[in-house]
Every structure is written in structure tokens, then in C-alpha cells.
Chains A and B, each alone.
Chain A
Amino acid sequence: MKNAADIVIIGGGISGVAIGYFLLKYGAKNVVILERDFLGAGATGKCGAGIRQQWGASINCIMTKFSCEFFENAAEELGCGDVDFHQGGYMLLISTEKELEQTKKNIVLQNSLGIESVLLSPQEAGEMVPLLDTSKILAATFHRKDGFLSPFKTTQAFAKAFERLGGTIYKATNVTGIDVTNGRVTAVKTDKGTISTNIVMNAAGGYAQQIAKMVDAKLPLYSERHNILVTEQLERTLSPMLMSFSLNLYMQQAPSGGFIMGRTCANQPRDLRVTADSNFPVEMARTVTNLLPKLGQLRMLRQWAGLYNMSPDKSPVYDEVPETKGFYVAAGYSGHGFMLAPATGQAMAEIILGLSPTLPWDKLGLSRFSSGNLIVEPSVV
């Protein structure tokens, strides 16, 4: 194991490998990624890996547009295999007047940013997705460039590109502590050895707060368990990804043919537990069969859970912590970390290397929580 590095990234999920790639792309040298289990073992390997540009806050629209364009030619840029980007579009289902009002505003914002989302009548939505019971919705929005990717292949593509540019990845390596001398990071201690460094990138996802404690930094974030299930595999019958905030669900038919679906359940534990929730299958089944009755024939095969790293305004945090020099954090994605990964990589590379920001990353700093100008993001499941 190396005993020194310019930058040590903690966390081998999609954010960690993306940040690593962008750092080396913009000229950083001697970058190391430390992963406790294997790449994508955390929330990355547990999520539906969707990507949508249909948001209420412009910064989120801009960042996901950036990410979408990156994913569209990731195979060439990373040069390490396909990322299975299935661009079947996202269909957001609207079932309340209040939500319809907010959605109309969102569409104006999105169109102004070059995102060609459209409003659909229930009948139009029904033609695109025959499985839908259109009586349950008032309207829908659709953006054909949205879709989902393979979380595993995308993570592997970033990781291989990172290694090809000279980066080093240590799997099965657990971070046990971070040395700080007069307010500056000096080394990262692991169960396999110690690496001296002046820059530590906290990309530990749901464990961001645990890692931050190692430098006595307090993050206004909490990690919450979110359950998800997959059904048996069938022939492809559903192309777009479906989502509804008011009806509280998201669903896709994965390349394997299984339908992946999830929702936000009440009072979920915040103790980093990723066990299965005993009420989730029934709640999920009721939600889905209410909206898509034919899916009642589908058999649930498996249920699992991952951590959402929640921020107060449900928008990400990209910043250096005030308490300790050289300790950077990228977290608080509140359930859409995967789709933001290219933007996260770009942001952290520019912040760490002091490059001029291509997007207003400062709006996503920690200071916003004390100054009060939060980026309230209404559209999150």
C-alpha cells in the first residue's frame, strides 16, 4: 500500500470513482480511492440508477443536464465499456392540483434551460404507458432524454478510466482514522496501513457523517433507510421510468426484465441499518397496483434497502468543511446521488484544484444552511 498520496478519496461508490476520474482528468496526480468492501457495495449498487432532468430547482436541472450529456457519451470518454444508458424517458405522474401547479412552473423553468420536458394529458400518458390507470392521474410530464443506467457498469467504467489515468484503488480497506495537525489534514489511517496526505475527499455516501466525525466536522445531514424491490423477469413492456411525488413511487423495468420499484416509507431508521422493512412489500404493492392494476400478476422476487444521505433542502453539498483544512465533502444527494455523479466529479475536481467553476458550486456549499438561502427542491421521492 502507498504511504503517501496527493489526494485520498474515501468511498468507492459512483461519487468516489467519478470524483477520482475528474481529478485526474484535470491534472491531479497521485490520487488514491479507499473502498471498505468493493466498488458499488453501498447505495450505488442498491439504487435504481435513474437520471432525470425534471426538477424544481434550476441548479438541479443544470447539474442533471450536465450529467445526462456526460452519460450519453460516457462509453467514448471513459473508454471502458458501455454503461447501458437506457434513454426511455421519465414520466412524472401528477395526481393533485397543487402538484399540477408546481409542475407547470417546473416545465417553464426546464424548457428555459433547454430541457424539452412536455406536459401530457392522462389520455396521452395512457397511450405511452398502456399499463396506466389514467383515471388515477390529472396529468403527466415526460422528458425523452431521461432514463436509467447500469449502476455496476457505470461505476466500473469510471473506476477503470481512473486506473488508466494512473489512479490507485484499494478494495476491502477500512478507514479507521484521519490525522489532523493544527487544523490541517495530514494522513488517513486504515486497517491496511497509513497514507499521508493533505487532501481527503469524503465521498462515503451514507457514512459521510461518520467519516466527517474523524476530523471533528459536523455535517447537517442524516442517513435514512429506503426500501426497494424487484419482481420476476418478463419481456419488456415498460420503456419510460415512472415516478410520482404525490403517489409516492418510482418504477422502471430493468434490462433484465424485472420491474424495480421503491417509495418513501414513514419513520425509517437512521442508524445506517439497511435491513428489509416488513411493511414495505404491502405498501409498495398497494401503491403500484392502484396505479397499474395489471402489474398485480407480477411476482415480487426480492426486497432490499440502501441509504439516502439526506440534506435539509434535499440538494447536494459540495464544499470544504470549515473546521479542517483539506477535508472536502460531497454528500447530501437525498436519493439522487447516482444521476448527479458526473456533476459531483466536475464540482469536486474544480473545488479541490481551485479551477474556475463551470457551474455555481458555491450555492451548494455548507454556508447556505447558516445563511438560510436554501435550494428548496420540491420534486423528490
Chain B
Amino acid sequence: MLERSGIPEQAQIDCVFPAEERLEKGPVAVIECFEKIPCNPCAQSCPKSAILPFVDINDRPVIDDELCVGCNACIKKCPGLAIMVVEYSGEKALIKLPHEFKPLPEKGQIVNALNRAGEPVSDAEVVRVIAGKVSVVSIAVDRHLIKTVRGFSFKEKPEIPEKNMGNLELNNTNELDGIVCRCNDLTLGDIRKMISDGYTTIDELKQLARVGMGPCQGRSCIPIILGELSRYLETPIKDLLPTNFRPVVTSVKLSDLAEHDEERTSV
């Protein structure tokens, strides 16, 4: 389902697609925006106010497909590139897609038509390219694919190394469970051992193993250690004894300190 895979269900797609007759009449926008998020540029962008105004910024867009003329204005404005314009044209279906990649295809070029999982489903011909910050590329595919095609890719794909390389014997110098404190090379195992030895506050760990005392001032290690302490003591982090964050945020040269000009009164 959408929340797990990022691909909308067929039922969700059907309910944002206009009726077949509308698709015959001419281009119409389809907005695959299935989540209430704070975003309303599509409504503002429509010259025909075919996208009904939002009551609340988190509303999902609703198109009055009688008013919509498929002018692409909203395609360029949608931050999520969730809008495409589709229409039937004889045996074909014309699909106008937002495109933010270089190089742009050329008119007449044959490309792969992709479904919502990025898999090629058929060839497609590029019928029009409108270049811009968000370019709009319209491609023609067989009409029965109007609800399937959602993207395109060039014919020659860059070869991607096949996925499963079990046989990679790399002389792996990895510690067993990863570095927690990068400045002092302390692994998760080191931290867990010290905690189980009875040092159950950040400050004790600091004194014992200088964790959080390096140049990074504990930015990457202290949050992880808090998690470990919280699990070990079965206490929520907010109830743990916090550590102190002392001056200075980034190191400063003693010579810069010594040359400090007390009298300066402007930056």
C-alpha cells in the first residue's frame, strides 16, 4: 500500500481519474495527491480555478474537470510533481508529465513509458517538450495505458551493478558493532560495557573514556549514548541526568583570544 511502497493503489488512482467521456473531450489534469499535507500552490496556480479553493491548507486538491482545460499551469507549481495532464487522442493517450532532469528528450524521440513502479510497460513517442524550470514533456502511448503510464526513461539505461554481491570478500576492518564516538574510537560495545560496569550517567562516561569530549563536543555520540542509557536503566531519556554543554561551540585559537580588542564597539 502507498504508505509502505510509495505506489498508490489502483483504487486510489481510479478515484482521482476523470470519467472516460471527459478524457475523450480534451486534456484534463490528474492530481495523485493522497495525503493531507500543508500545501496549496496547485489551487492558487489554476487560471480557471478548476482546482477548488482549499478551506484548510492541508486539504487534498479536488478538480472540477468541467472547468479544467489541461493547460499545464498546475504541473509546474506542484512541489511534489504529483500532477499530470492526460487525454485520449484517437488510438493514443497523450500524457503530459513534469520533468526536472537533463538532458531533455527531443520531439519524436522514442522512449520507454514507465509505470508507477518505474518499470517499462511499452514504448512511447515524445510529442512535445516545453523546457523551463519544471519542463513539461508530453508522450503518446496506447490509449489503454492511460491509467498505467506515469513516467518515461531514455532507451539506453546506465548499467547498474546487479544487486546481490554476496561474494565480496573485503578485508573488513569493522569493529563488531560500529563506532559511536568518532573522536575517541569508542564502539557501541565499549559503551555498553562501561554502562553495565555501573557508569550510568553521561558525565561518568565522559570522565572514564572522554566520550563527548573531543572536537565534535559530543554531537554525534551523546544522542546514541542517551539511547543506550535509557534502555539499560529503563528510564525515558527526559528523566536521565543531562550532561553539560560548555563553551565553546567550535575551538578558537589562544592567539585569537589573546589578541582580543576590548575597545572595539562595532562588528
Q: Give chain A's interface residues, CB within 8 Å of chain B.
A: 37-41, 45, 151-152, 172, 231-233, 256, 276, 281-282, 284-286, 288-290, 295-304
Contacts and interface: CB of A to CB of B under 8 A. Distances in A.
B246 A302 contact: yes
Given A45-B207, A284-B257, A300-B253, 7 more contacts: A39-B204, A285-B257, A299-B251, A299-B253, A302-B213, A302-B217, A302-B248
Contact of B247 (A233, A290, A298, A303): A303
B246 A300 contact: no
Contacts of B252: 281, 299-300
Nearest to B207: A152
Given A152-B208, A285-B254, A299-B253, A45 B247 contact: no
B203 interface: yes
A297 B257 CA distance: 11
Contacts of A281: 247-248, 252, 257
B251 A301 contact: yes
Contacts, number: 78
A225 B203 CA distance: 20
Given A45-B207, A302-B248, A304-B244, A38 B201 contact: yes
Contacts of A45: 203, 207
Interface residues of B, number: 23
B251 A300 contact: yes
Contacts of A304: 244, 246
The secondary structure that dominates the A interface is mixed
A256 B210 contact: yes
A303 B255 contact: no
Contacts of B215: 232, 301
Contacts of B210: 256
A300 B213 contact: no
B160 interface: no
A77 B61 CA distance: 78
B241 interface: yes
Contacts of B201: 37-38
A276 B254 contact: no
A298 B246 contact: no
A296 B217 CA distance: 22
Given A38-B204, A256-B210, A285 B246 contact: no
10 contacts: A151-B207, A232-B215, A281-B248, A282-B257, A285-B254, A289-B254, A295-B254, A296-B255, A297-B254, A300-B251
Complex A-B, nearest 5 residue pairs according to Cβ-Cβ distance, in ascending order: A296-B255, A285-B257, A299-B251, A152-B207, A285-B258
B203 A41 contact: yes
Contacts of A152: 207-208
B247 A302 contact: yes
B206 to A, nearest CB: 9
A303 B217 CA distance: 12
A280 to B, nearest CB: 9
Contact of B258 (A37, A276, A289): A289
B260 interface: yes
B219 to A, nearest CB: 13
A299 B254 contact: yes
A282 B257 CA distance: 5
A172 B233 CA distance: 14
A45 B199 CA distance: 14
A296 B254 contact: yes
A231 B204 CA distance: 21
Nearest to A258: B213
Interface in B182-239: 201, 203-204, 207-208, 210, 213-215, 217
Contacts of A300: 248, 251-254, 257
A118 B140 CA distance: 96
A303 B248 contact: yes
A183 to B, nearest CB: 38
Given A296-B253, A299-B252, A282 B247 contact: no
A232 B251 contact: yes
Contact of A298 (B217, B254, B260): B254
Contacts of B207: 40, 45, 151-152
B254 A231 contact: yes
Contacts of A40: 207
B248 A301 contact: yes
Contacts of B251: 231-232, 299-301
Contacts of B204: 38-39
A172 B203 CA distance: 13
Nearest to A152: B207
A231 B255 CA distance: 12
Which of B203, B214, B254, B260 has the most CB atoms of chain A within a 10 A radius of its CB? B254
Nearest to A303: B247
Which of A256, A282, A299 has the most CB atoms of chain B within a 10 A radius of its CB? A299
A41 B255 CA distance: 32
A253 B23 CA distance: 79
A232 B217 CA distance: 11
B203 A298 contact: no
A303 B257 CA distance: 13
A298 B241 contact: no
Contacts of B257: 281-282, 284-286, 300
Interface string B239-267: 00100101110011111011010000000
Contacts of A298: 253-254
A66 to B, nearest CB: 26
A225 B133 CA distance: 60
Contacts of B213: 256, 302
